[in-house]
Amino acid sequence: METHEYALLIDGDRRAAATMTVENPATGATVGDVASGDAVDARAAVAAADAAATAWERTGPGERETTLREIADRIEAESDALARLLAAEAGKPLPTAAGEVAETVAQFRFYAGAADKVRGDTMPTAPNRLNYTRRRPYGVTAHVVPWNYPLLLGTRGFASALATGNTLAIKPPSLAPLS
């Protein structure tokens, strides 16, 4: 299997940083090298997510749905390569990794369909009066991804946050950061 090298991705830009080697826990073979960010990088990631938050919050539910479906389509198009990479870095059987990738696609599609279902409520409180709630995004959401099912468990947080108008700052797992 070829090895992979990954820089940090902050605000759409790749950034060099100190790296760490990722090994297949089942074989000990090197899978790749990944950037290991520090506190400065974390602050930059949160600042970039914060800068994007207002625009993403104002994006309509239909456009968020389209974006999430496009993400699902891209993951599905790369599903074989992602499954092989996930199997190598996590040391799991290829069918298990392929199932995780397929469920990741399904999660993005599920939350795409939920993007226009998050609404406020209107409640009568007294004659001729109404009380209403308005659902608003939090803004930047932080995600610390577990190593054992990084795509699937990460996606549950990512897709739901994006569907509801939030932005993301993600810390991938140290043991399985490549996928």
Q: What is the pTM of this model?
A: 0.88
CA atoms of 145 and 154, how far apart (whole Å)? 5
**In this predicted model, what pLDDT tens digit does every residue of 59-84 receive, in sequence order?**
999 999 999 999 999 999 999 999 99
Distance CA 175, CA 125 (A): 53
Band of the pLDDT at 2, cuts 50, 70, 90?
low
